[in-house]
Structure 1
Amino acid sequence: MVGRTLIDVAIIGGGPGGLGTAIALSQLPFVRITLYEKNPEPREAGAGISLSANAWKVLDLLGASEEVKGGSKSNTHQRNAFTGDVLGVVKSPENAQADSRGAIRARRTRLQSALLSRVPEGTIQYGKKLIHLENLPTRGVRLVFHDQTEAVADLVVGADGIQSIVRRTLLPDHHLSFTGTIAWRVIVAKACLAHIPDITTSTSWWWGESGHVYFSDVDDEDEKNPYFEITVRGYREPEILGRTVVWGVPATNDRVASRVEKYDRRIKDAVSIVPEGAWREFAMFAGPRLDRIIGWDNKVALIGDSSHPLSGAFGSGATFAMEDGWILARALDYSQSLGLSIRDALEIFNNIRSPYYARMYEHLDELEEKMRKSRQESKDFDDFLRAKIKYLIYGDKDFIYKNDIQKVWEDYIVSAEGQPR
């Protein structure tokens, strides 16, 4: 064991990734952390969030799993959005077998609260919108905030999401583009929907030609007044002019209702119940894969959506970001124990996580090709939907939902030190 060098770390962004990174790094006595969040108070946009075996593993490691509860996804129906016909039922998702707690859908705010409770007091500074980063020729990175305050850190962690200013500064030639998809999300009291047949009895996907509707519990069965999520998606939406990434802005009931007017009556009835002003709109943007998720002579690391701008392609973005933060902490601890530098630690982090994201991009490319062929070969719409469900929902994604991040790290150590298991 060698002496440890004190490291000042600035984390940009207070979402699940930033909070998870702060928790993981706070366990290292040689790290001094400040998390900078642009909002004036804790805030989490969205409705529900899916958590599977990979999420439980990292939440256990962060000590935050006990406080996270939600609705079970063990009874999931796939339906034709026009007719309501059931095209498939999953009683127990495969990834649930990797953890007895199963796959759940939880309120995003509950995950946020669970993580916040584990972040050491005094770590977070609110109202700190980053506007400028400068790679200093000597030590670290200079940060400038909207309120004209400044800071210097040995290491900057970009946990600032799809719109990441850290990524844009690091890689000015990397650009996002609108995917054509917009999601409208809301959570409402489950009791308001209980009279509509087949809506609240299970998690369900209702598939249309140019969009889909998703229904799910976000509270467990013990909740006195449980809430329920409705998400409406449009796949071929017109470009949003005059703005870039639209995230969590209010949407009118008419705007959402227009996307489901040709769907089954039950969907229209459910959408019509939402109070005016409750819908939030999320326009999906994505960008090409990054060759490396570190930069500036290994003074900056990107995590979560800032490192793989896929805009929710796998519905597990918060988990990916928390996994990133945990691996980053392990890499720093390991490197310091060997007398190595931050540079070495970030190379380890990149070598573990960057190939993982490359695999996701490859998976999406393969899926797109399968969907293209299915569209050409399908006899009718239901036939195409069955193929879509087969590849999109039931396709092999164990490398994501069954990922054991602790084992990933243990395997790296075995490989690095050349020790047989």
Structure 2
Amino acid sequence: MSTEPNHANVLRIAIIGGGPAGLGAAIALSALPNVRITLYEKARELREVGAGISIGYNCWKVLELLGAAEDVRGHLQQNVLYRNGLSGEIKRVKPAPSSVPLKYRSRRVKRTRLQAALISKVPPGIIQLNKKLVSIHDAGTQGVHLTFEDGAKTTADLVVGGDGIRSVIRTSLFPEHITKFTGTTIWRTLIPAKSLSHIHDLFPDTSWWHGPSGHCYFSLVDDPSEFLDSSTSSSSEQMIEVSCRYLIDPALDTEKRFSWGVPATNERVNVHFTQYDRRVRDALSRVPEGGWKEFSAFSGPRLERLVGWGKVVLLGDASHPLSGAFGSGAAFALEDGWILARAIELVTSRASSTFSDSDHDRQVIKARNIADALEIFNDIRSPYYRRMYEHLDSQKAKVSRAQTEAKSQSSDPTYIFESVLASRLEAFPVGDELSWIYKNDIAIIWQQYLRSKREARTAARI
């Protein structure tokens, strides 16, 4: 961050958070002229917590724009199987989309792979570690004052909140917005695929095994060609992700909950899946003690706006605390950062002809440009997230109706479970039902925005 008094010609940007949202924003914004960017991450080292992450068409498209796509490799997902987790019966199959070019098809990737690819594209000197943000303060035309836990203070013209689902930035902007534990606990691990090779039907297809109160998920996360030994034609070092979810009524929960990964014992995990198909139980028993990390899912209501003070913007999970509802959070976060950069680029290019010898005037003009750019960002991204919330509300209502109807027809737990499962599985698209998410091309969205503004200006002149 610049501490020089004459900074009127430089856009000082503070990015909070070193996840996909923060890293993507750092890459996109650093390509703009006359910017000075610092990314503040509270951890002592940049390390991804979790196991695997899905990279689909929408994410590949924005990774290409950021120049990071080539460094992201993982397991090419073919068929995705949705099973009754108790009986093992296949209830639904999502085939690989033949209409999508191979390089844009969905892959399951180690989170560390994506993080490393993004970090490699962030210019040197931008990332500062062990910087936990404590508070931000609106300083008027001076920008935003930031205070960190170690006592350090700085000032930025623009603050980018990429600090996750329990965002300090969001709390500062919207203190009335509260996130709560959803009732879902997630346990994740990565183990060698060879340790589960004796169990039929766990891979190579990705599979979801649904139970009455959650599910277990199995997917390879590596490109096998990276481990192929020409002498044995085996890929014994390939890893498989195991992810299990268990749902309770959050109103009855009394435990202390953590949204980040904390160690969990095998007993704590396995006790929730004792009724599952023997293949699932066998797989869970093969996880080495100490291998599980536990995450508690938090979510919150939709924000009416993703920007505040005319100089602060929320990206990724900070802007739409949905707790991974669509399995495409990395894409959303990266799209946010890229759109923010385009909005700033557009506004500053329009204002490039404005000139003043006064530092004060230039600072005022810069502040106005930032506010205008943030409104563009909000106009594009806020309706997108509103549509997601509306879809989730619709799906939740369908499942609730199915459960009520099933209970009115029978008291048999098996009948009720299978009726509700059928409704739940409808939320998993097998075609183009959610193409506005999974086949989103953020570059086309930006061009559509520019075209709509040109058409509006033309209409206004007629």
TM-score (norm 2): 0.86
Instruction: Name the structure 2 match of 1:64.
Output: 68
2:203 is equivalent to residue 197 of structure 1: no
Which of the residues 270, 277, 290 maps onto 1:257?
270
2:312 is equivalent to residue 276 of structure 1: no
Long gaps (5+) in structure 2: 1-7, 228-236, 352-367, 410-414
Instruction: Name the structure 2 match of 1:105.
Output: 108
Which of the residues 290, 303, 326 maps onto 1:290?
303
Which of the residues 40, 46, 50 maps onto 2:44?
40
Tell me which amino acid in the other structure corresponds to 1:235. L
Per-residue deviation, 1:206: 0.3
Hey, what's the Cα distance between the residues in 1 that align with 2:343 and 2:119?
Answer: 23
Q: Which sits farther off after the overlay, 101-110 or 238-247?
A: 238-247
Q: CA RMSD in A?
A: 1.8
Counterpart secondary structure, 1:247: coil
Change (3 A) 1:99 1:154: farther
| Per-residue deviation, residues 175-220 of structure 1 (Å, max 9, x unmatched) | 0111111110001111111011111231000010011000001111
Change (3 A) 1:97 1:207: same
Instruction: Name the structure 1 match of 2:396.
Output: 368
Task: After TM superposition, list the pairs within 5 Å mapping 1:158-237 onto structure 2.
Answer: 158-224=161-227, 225-236=237-248
Per-residue deviation, 1:237: 5.7
More helix by share: 2
Conserved in 1, the CA contact under 8 Å of 2:94 and 2:430?
A: no
Hey, what's the Cα distance between the residues in 2 that align with 1:284 and 1:160?
Answer: 16
Tell me which amino acid in the other structure corresponds to 2:282. D
Counterpart secondary structure, 1:97: coil
**Same amino acid, percent of matched pairs:** 51
Which of the residues 2, 14, 17 maps onto 2:18?
14
Counterpart secondary structure, 1:191: helix
Long gaps (5+) in structure 1: none
Instruction: Name the structure 2 match of 1:128.
Output: 131
Instruction: Name the structure 2 match of 1:300.
Output: 312
Per-residue deviation, 1:81: 0.7
Tell me which amino acid in the other structure corresponds to 1:316. S
Instruction: Name the structure 2 match of 1:83.
Output: 87
Hey, what's the Cα distance between the residues in 2 that align with 1:37 and 1:304?
Answer: 15
Per-residue deviation, 1:90: 2.1
2:361 is equivalent to residue 333 of structure 1: no
Aligned residues: 415
Change (3 A) 1:305 1:98: farther
Hey, what's the Cα distance between the residues in 2 that align with 1:385 and 1:174?
Answer: 32
Instruction: Name the structure 1 match of 2:379.
Output: 351
Tell me which amino acid in the other structure corresponds to 1:271. L
Which of the residues 261, 267, 289 maps onto 1:248?
261
Hey, what's the Cα distance between the residues in 1 that align with 2:179 and 2:95?
Answer: 37
Per-residue deviation, 1:223: 3.0
Tell me which amino acid in the other structure corresponds to 1:338. R
| Per-residue deviation, residues 272-295 of structure 1 (Å, max 9, x unmatched) | 111111101110111111010000
Hey, what's the Cα distance between the residues in 2 that align with 1:232 and 1:137?
Answer: 47
Tell me which amino acid in the other structure corresponds to 2:371. R
Hey, what's the Cα distance between the residues in 1 that align with 2:392 and 2:375?
Answer: 26
Counterpart secondary structure, 2:347: helix
Change (3 A) 1:130 1:138: same
Conserved in 1, the CA contact under 8 Å of 2:403 and 2:420?
A: yes
Change (3 A) 1:165 1:70: same
Tell me which amino acid in the other structure corresponds to 1:398. S
Hey, what's the Cα distance between the residues in 2 that align with 1:385 and 1:169?
Answer: 40
Which of the residues 46, 53, 57 maps onto 1:49?
53
Conserved in 2, the CA contact under 8 Å of 1:53 and 1:98?
A: no
Conserved in 2, the CA contact under 8 Å of 1:78 and 1:205?
A: yes
Structure exhibiting the larger radius of gyration computed from Cα positions: 2
Tell me which amino acid in the other structure corresponds to 1:409. W
TM-score (norm 1): 0.95
Conserved in 2, the CA contact under 8 Å of 1:93 and 1:103?
A: no
Change (3 A) 1:284 1:93: farther
Hey, what's the Cα distance between the residues in 1 that align with 2:393 and 2:26?
Answer: 33
Which of the residues 367, 383, 388 maps onto 2:424?
388
Hey, what's the Cα distance between the residues in 1 that align with 2:185 and 2:387?
Answer: 25
Change (3 A) 1:208 1:93: farther
